[in-house]
Structure 1
């Protein structure tokens, strides 16, 4: 019997979108997007994070100035109520994703546990 796991994945995606956590994040993203100041600050924060992660992955050193600037931008982002709510909603959704990931890898882990 052939199993089409993608049908189940698509169903899980639909269920995921119906969770309170997803809906809360969706609303929080909309709130940030509709506030130009918050949206600009978050884009700066996100772009800076990506730039620094890319430098780390390339093995490049991050300067003290870059770290200081990153800390200031992060602090400003966390002081913005809309951004903070969005980040908190994202963390709540991440917990669900972690649980799904654990459930998905449990069968593989159980194979190795038998060794």
Structure 2
């Protein structure tokens, strides 16, 4: 019987070697090296996390919170270093989505005949 955790660890090692991951890693380092970009990104992430916590708690988001979050997002996207990092992150996410789709294929196959 296969030890799936050994296989997953091998996949993780292969994932780290993909061009998409390497590009993201480099983009993160560029942002970290630029104090202004880093502060803008930290603020953007802090706001995102706070709003997500409120949503998960079932709290309504206030209009001024949404406006502030939009302004923080715009400021982050206007920074070319942050923008490049977010673009690289989206490409990594596509790889992860594809891996997830492949991993779920056996389960989907099990249910194909049930309709």
TM-score by shorter chain over 0.5: yes
Q: 2:7 & 2:70 partners in 1: Cα distance?
A: 42
Aligned position for 2:32? 33
Show the 5 A alignment for 1:55-74.
55-74=54-73
Q: 1:65 & 1:49 partners in 2: Cα distance?
A: 14
Show the 5 A alignment for 1:29-108.
29-108=28-107
1:11-43 C-alpha deviation (Å, 9 max, x unpaired): 100100000000000000000000000001101
Moved over 6 A (4+): none
RMSD: 0.5
1:60-114 C-alpha deviation (Å, 9 max, x unpaired): 1111111110010000000000000000000000000000000000000100112
Structure 2: stretches of 5+ with no match in the other structure: none
Structure 1: stretches of 5+ with no match in the other structure: none
Aligned length, in residue pairs: 114
Q: Secondary structure at the match of 1:60?
A: coil
Deviation at 1:3, TM superposition (A): 1.3
Q: Give the TM-score normalised by the residue count of structure 1.
A: 0.97
Q: Give the TM-score normalised by the residue count of structure 2.
A: 0.97
